[in-house]
Amino acid sequence: MSEVGITLDSLLGQLLLGLVNGSFYAMLSLGLAVIFGLLNIVNFAHGALYMMGAYFAWIGLTYFGIGYWWSLLIAPSFVAVFGMVIERSLLQWLYKLDHLYGLLLTFGVSLIIEGTYRYFFGVSGQPYPVPELLSGSTDLGFMSLPNYRGWVVIASLAVCLSTWFVIERTRLGAYLRAATENPQLTQAFGINVPLLVMLTYGFGAALAAFAGVLAAPVIQITPLMGNNLIVIVFAVVVIGGMGSILGAVATGLALGVIEGLTKVFYPEASSTVVFVIMALVLLVRPAGLFGREK
């Protein structure tokens, strides 16, 4: 194989890297799908919230000595509160309007967040160390697995599956699904739908921030990281459709892997392959792989 320049090692390495990226796609598109399901808003600010998570980790470590593990807990909580404030102060006025206004408003919010962070932190990337517990790598025999990357995949899968479990298998999830289906009727049954909506947006924001903290050690933290990622996640969402939680997760992971493989076989196309796949899916199955039109 070496004459074509592809070794098994680099193939597996890229595959893992793709899986890591796919985990981020999965977590972000999951959050988008949950928010869209209940709020009917495509949350453009999702990327900015993800970026806020990463910055929280970095600020916490740099200025307050808060370690990675605490950040993993604190950053999502802070961003969740921030998200709920946004929902109560801005988004709640839009639910009766065309969906497009939600996209436009959250786009504005993402600009405000990005601009503020650019003002305070500039555009150059900040490094974040891999936590000690997860530094180094494990020799699997056929390849060496950097521990941290393995952790990212496992942690994000765990979060995605718990989200699925909560929504599909618990009482709270049943309320949520009922409110998605018919908010008026759910309200009539005595369930506080506006509260549910606020918590849902907060949860989606927390999910984005969690992904941001997870990403901090494997990427350069910049104010631009969120909005650059969100466009790709939109493509992922178009491919998968926003109707199914597991569909969103599976699509995210699969596209990450495909992107990783493209880096090995045809690196020039690696940044566009997701968009090309989106175009193909639109030609073959316009409603998306797991989609149902809302």
Partner 1 sequence: MTFVRKHAVLLSLVVVLAIAPFLFYPVLVMKVLCFALFACAFNLLLGYTGLLSFGHAAYFGAGAYTTGYAMTAWATTPELGLLFGVVTAALLGAVFGGLAIRRQGIYFAMITLALAQMLYFFCLQAPFTGGEDGLQGVPRGKLFGLIDLGNDDVMYVFVSLVFLGGFWLIDRIIRSPFGQVLKSIRENEDRALSLGYDVDRYKLVAFVLSSALAGLAGATKTLTFGFATLTDVFWGTSGEVVLMTLVGGVGTVLGPVIGAVVIIVLQNELADKVGSWVLVILGAIFVVNVLLFRKGIVGEITARFNRT
- Residues of this chain that interact with partner 1 (CB under 8 A) are 36, 42, 90, 93-94, 99-101, 103-105, 107-116, 118-119, 227, 231-232, 234-235, 237-238, 268, 271-272, 274-276, 278-279, 282-283, 286-287, 293
CB of 251 to partner 1, least distance (A): 14
CB of 205 to partner 1, least distance (A): 17
Q: Which is nearer to partner 1, 30 or 159 (CB)?
A: 30
Q: Which is nearer to partner 1, 136 or 286 (CB)?
A: 286
Q: Which is nearer to partner 1, 214 or 238 (CB)?
A: 238
CB of 100 to partner 1, least distance (A): 5
CB of 167 to partner 1, least distance (A): 21
Q: Which is nearer to partner 1, 90 or 191 (CB)?
A: 90
State the Cα–Cα distance between residues 109 and 115, nearest whole angstrom.
10
Q: Which is nearer to partner 1, 115 or 127 (CB)?
A: 115
Residues 204 and 31: beta-carbon distance below 8 Å: yes
Q: Which helix H or strand E contains 144, and what residues bound it?
A: strand 144-146
CB of 234 to partner 1, least distance (A): 4
Query: 32 in helix, strand or coil?
Result: helix
Q: What is the DSSP letter of 133?
A: G
Task: Report the half-sphere exposure of 207 (CA within 13 A, side-chain side).
Answer: 32
Q: Which helix H or strand E contains 30, and what residues bound it?
A: helix 8-39
Residues 202 and 220: beta-carbon distance below 8 Å: no
CB of 128 to partner 1, least distance (A): 22
Q: Which is nearer to partner 1, 234 or 290 (CB)?
A: 234
Residue 51's φ and ψ, nearest 5 degrees, are: -60, -40
What is the residue-wise DSSP string for 219-273? S-B-TTHHHHHHHHHHHHHHHH-SS-HHHHHHHHHHHHHHHHHHHHH-GGGTTTH
